[in-house]
Chains A and B, each alone.
Chain A
Amino acid sequence: MAFSRRNFLKGAAAGSAAAACAAATTTPAEARENLTMPPKAVGLLYDSTICVGCKACVVACRDANDTHPEFSTEEKLWDNPLDISGKTITVIKMYSEGTGQHKDQEKDGFAFMKRSCLHCVDPSCVSVCPVTAMTKDPVTGIVSHEPADCIGCRYCIVACPFAVPQFEFDKAFPKLLKCQLCKHRQAEGKIPACAEVCPTGATLFGPVTALKEEADRRLAVPAGKPNTFARKTVGSPDVHEHPNAAYVQHAYGTTEMGGTQMLLLSGVPFEKMGYPKLRERSYASEAETIQEGIYHDLIAPVALFAGLLYVARKNTKNHDEEE
């Protein structure tokens, strides 16, 4: 090919100059802030310290959402999901360290932790969905998905910082599976099945503001002091007394990823319970800022293509001259 070293280097230099020019002319779009909590946001408060690991929530979730038992042992005797999956929306997992004798203790202790969708205030899954099959209800804030619209790209699975959306990988026509806060039950005036059946009130349903207040109230009571715990719904008269546990002084979900509508309380550090430390700015807000920045007023794409066009034209001209 008749393409001299000199011309190649010249072209490369021109191209990078065009790119640099494009970058310089892009006025950075105003960074998108984290989305804010919808006015009537509802959610769950899961308190690990009063959970006894009975898995009533797992069973009730199966009944309410018509999922089938998942076996993980050879004998296939017990419904025993090891994590949320294409067959399981929620699961209670156990932390155990050393002798594993003392409840809610990091050393030589054990504790339970719920795994299910946290219903982010600014959800990554909704942000990445190319067909808006994943939605966040503008009123209740429930993050749900429309199977009819889903194209199965699984971007949401990759995007979720908590690895919540699950896919039926073993099916010919797979569907997405994740907690939708029993929105079908809420439409009937009921509360999510997991909160309905929890015998200790470890999973509590209610408006997020009330749940946050309840979490703060529990965190404020000194360890060992008797405290009251409601069952089913926050503020319900169905309460029982229990000595307050030594909580980690943070309700997980108040700040993480711009906040979630499910809040978690625990006696064992959250990192040990499968919930990583996450920053306050949501991934969605940052990703959308970059995306919108690049395409802001179409300046950057126009500049880039103009630069490329110039390089192409120049090279073509040189080519003609040599011929």
Chain B
Amino acid sequence: MNDDILNAIETRLGLSRRSFMQFCAAMAATMGLPKGADAAIANAIASSTRPPVIWLHFQECTGCTESMLRAEHPALDKLILEIISLDYHETLFAGAGHQAEAARKASMAANKGKYVLVVEGAIPMKDGGIYCKVGGHTALDLVKECAADAAAVIAIGSCAAWGGMPSSAPNPTGAVGVDEIIKDKPVVNIPGCPPSPYNFLSTVVHYLTFGKLPELDGKGRPKFAYGRIIHENCERRPHFDAGRFAQEFGDEGHRLGYCLYKLGCKGPETFANCPSILFNDIGSGSWPVGTGHPCIGCSEKGIGFTKPIHSLAEPVYITPPESYARIVEEQGQGITLASGATMAVIGGLAVGAGAKFAANLGKKKPEDSSIGKE
């Protein structure tokens, strides 16, 4: 990467080159990319081809956007706006009304097949989708219209990923996730309520750098972020393995930071990287379990907003330590008849030889004495 490009970055993003490289390295680390990937990311961002992004809001609380805005890496707000060309976003738009809708249509027409569609919020299906409308169009129509020519579709937050809170029983509006509607192209799900902003940013940067979406799991989630279960990486896991649990809120075990499983922690059945990358860049403990509240499984369909918060989790993997006591412990074999007999024979021979030797100790050899005399 030459100085000219970095200088251009400095002017374009208003970032020192040090801050910029730090950001690129952080992105690479979040995705678990090998050494050198940060340079590739830096090159991709430095190039002026910013993908246009259309960001739609449906049945949601805007928490995902708020989470994005609070990403604390240096000047990230600038990077969001400068890495990507955010052509339509209802929360961040200066314009409103027909002006905003016109901007969306214009961008979609100009960047046909090139723009990234980000959906935040669930889509109501009941009664023709009349329960959520923007600019007179139902969410259902909008998502179909915008996804038709999108290069990639990203569903941010649990609502867009699988229905989230609006889809909780009795689900009065028939809320569903994006991948229930868009079937003809892959939808990247970034569930969470809200998800870590870096899971979203890393997905976008991956797309920018490598020209394709990151590897996804069976539920359309990037494996780098949702490949591991919370329980396996939780800082309180040693307490679980040692059988130490908070029995109730505020008891001694709770204050000592014991495992929150008994209080209903959904870590054992929720896939997310929360314990690894935490939230808000303020250091250790900055995630729900770190603060002493059990994980509610917000990112997991069928768990978050479905199971009661303090009901017991169903561990997906039960992985006791290797040294766990077995029903029948492998033990050394006792003495067998054959080996006993062999040892008795050897022992007998040794005793016999020893006795013979001891008996001969005091005797002089007759041959020697005869030689001595001569």
Q: A82-B329, A110-B318, A197-B247 are in contact. Are A59 and B323 (CB under 8 A)?
A: no
Interface size on A, residues (CB 8 A): 36
State how many angstroms separate the Cβ of B328 from the closest Cβ of chain A.
Answer: 7
Contacts of A7 in B (CB 8 A): none
Please encode chain B, from 28 to 44, with 1 for each CB lying within 8 Å of some chain A CB and 0 for all others: 00000000000000000
Does A274 interact with chain B (Cβ within 8 Å)? yes
Per-residue interface assignment for chain B, residues 309 to 327, with 1 indicating a CB less than 8 Å from any chain A CB and 0 otherwise? 0011011001011011111
A59–B259 Cα gap in the complex (Å)?
Answer: 13
Complex Cα–Cα for A138 and B99 (A): 87
A-B contacts counted at CB < 8 A amount to: 76
The answer on a CB contact under 8 Å between A199 and B312 is: yes
Q: A103-B318, A199-B261 are in contact. Are A56 and B323 (CB under 8 A)?
A: no
Q: Do B318 and A57 touch across chains, with their CB atoms under 8 A apart?
A: no
A79 in contact (CB, < 8 A): yes
Bound Cα distance A213, B318 (Å) = 29
Choose from A54, A60, A79, A242 the contact partner of B314 (Cβ within 8 Å).
Answer: A242
Given known A54-B243, A79-B242, contact A274–B323 (CB-CB < 8 A): no
Contacts A240-B311, A240-B312, A274-B328: A78 and B323 contacting too (C-beta < 8 A)? yes
Interface pair A83/B325, CB less than 8 Å apart: yes
Q: How far is the CB of A68 from chain B (nearest CB, A)?
A: 15
Q: Nearest-CB distance from B99 to chain A (Å)?
A: 52
Known: A56-B244, A199-B245. A94 touches B312 (CB 8 A): no
Bound Cα distance A131, B160 (Å): 73
Partner of B327, one of A54, A72, A103, A273: A273
Assembly CA distance A82 to B323 (angstroms): 9
A73 is contacted by which of B241, B245, B261, B323 (Cβ under 8 Å)?
B323
Tell me if A191 counts as interface (CB < 8 A to partner B): no
A307 is an interface residue with CB less than 8 A from chain B:
no
Please name all residues of chain B whose beta carbon is closer than 8 Å to the beta carbon of A82 when the two chains form the complex: 325-326, 329
Interface residues on B, range: 20 to 34
Question: When the two chains form their complex, are residues A93 and B327 in contact, meaning their CB atoms are under 8 A apart?
Answer: yes
Docked complex: B245-284 residues within 8 A CB-CB of A: 245, 247, 259, 261-262
Chain B's nearest CB lies how many Å from the CB of A308? 40
List chain A residues, Cβ under 8 A from B240: 54
Residue pair A56, B245 in contact (C-beta under 8 Å)? yes
| Chain B residues with CB below 8 A from A279, complex form | none
Q: Does A55 interact with chain B (Cβ within 8 Å)?
A: yes
| Interface SS of chain B | loop
Within 8 A of B (CB), among A67-112: 72-73, 78-83, 91-96, 103, 110
Is A59 within 8 A of B318, CB to CB?
A: no
Closest-CB distance, B319 to chain A (whole angstroms)? 9
A275's nearest neighbour on chain B, judged by CB, is B327
Query: Which A residues lie within 8 Å of B318 (CB)?
Result: 52-53, 103, 110
In angstroms, Cα B323 to Cα A242, docked, is: 28
CA distance A81 to B325 in the complex (A): 7
- Complexed CA–CA distance, A81 and B314 (Å): 26
Ordered by A's residue number, 28 sampled pairs between the chains whose C-beta atoms are within 8 Å are: A52-B315, A54-B243, A54-B245, A55-B242, A57-B243, A59-B242, A59-B243, A59-B244, A60-B243, A78-B242, A78-B321, A80-B321, A80-B323, A83-B325, A91-B325, A93-B327, A94-B324, A94-B326, A95-B326, A197-B247, A197-B262, A199-B261, A199-B312, A200-B312, A240-B311, A241-B311, A272-B327, A274-B327
Q: Which 5 A-B pairs have the closest CB atoms?
A: A199-B262, A55-B243, A59-B243, A240-B312, A56-B243
Q: A55-B242, A57-B243, A83-B329 are in contact. List 13 more A-B contacts (CB 8 A).
A: A52-B315, A53-B320, A54-B241, A81-B325, A82-B326, A93-B326, A96-B326, A103-B318, A110-B318, A197-B245, A197-B262, A199-B262, A240-B311
